[in-house]
Amino acid sequence: MNAASNGADAARRRSRRGRGKGTAPGSAKTSGDFWGSPDKLPSVEEVTVSTDPSAVVRSLGRPPFPGHEAVSEYYLRAVYDNTAKLAEVLATAGDLLSDSADSE
């Protein structure tokens, strides 16, 4: 035998090992069983969108990157703004956005 046939044999052996390991018939749970009872979920508060998501971090002072304070501040602010936008989108999708945020 040559090296190429040894590789093919090994691949065939590996593929045989994985066969027949599916779930047993009748063992699948319904989605309600998986997620549990909706009655047991905690109540949620509505989300209010911040008008200045980077205010708290800016209050701590300039970022400690010598020689790159302005650039790093710009990029960090972009991260905070994008994170706030993503949170707003998720809150909207989950119907959790407060009425005061909808009017803006």
Cα–Cα distance measured from residue 80 to residue 101, given in angstroms and rounded to the nearest whole number = 18
What are 19's two structure tokens? Answer: 């066969």
Amino acid at 12: R
pLDDT one-digit tens code per residue, 35-79: 777 788 788 888 898 899 989 888 988 888 888 988 998 999 999
Contacts of residue 87, Cβ cutoff 8 Å, sequence gap at least 6:
47, 49
pLDDT at residue 99, as a whole number:
79
Question: Highest-confidence range of 7-21, 42-56, 80-94, by mean pLDDT?
Answer: 80-94
pLDDT at 5 over 50: yes
* Helices then strands, each counted (H, E), the chain: 5, 0
Would you say 47 and 101 are in contact if contact means Cβ atoms under 8 Å apart?
yes
Q: pTM score > 0.85 for this model?
A: no
pLDDT at residue 102, as a whole number:
47
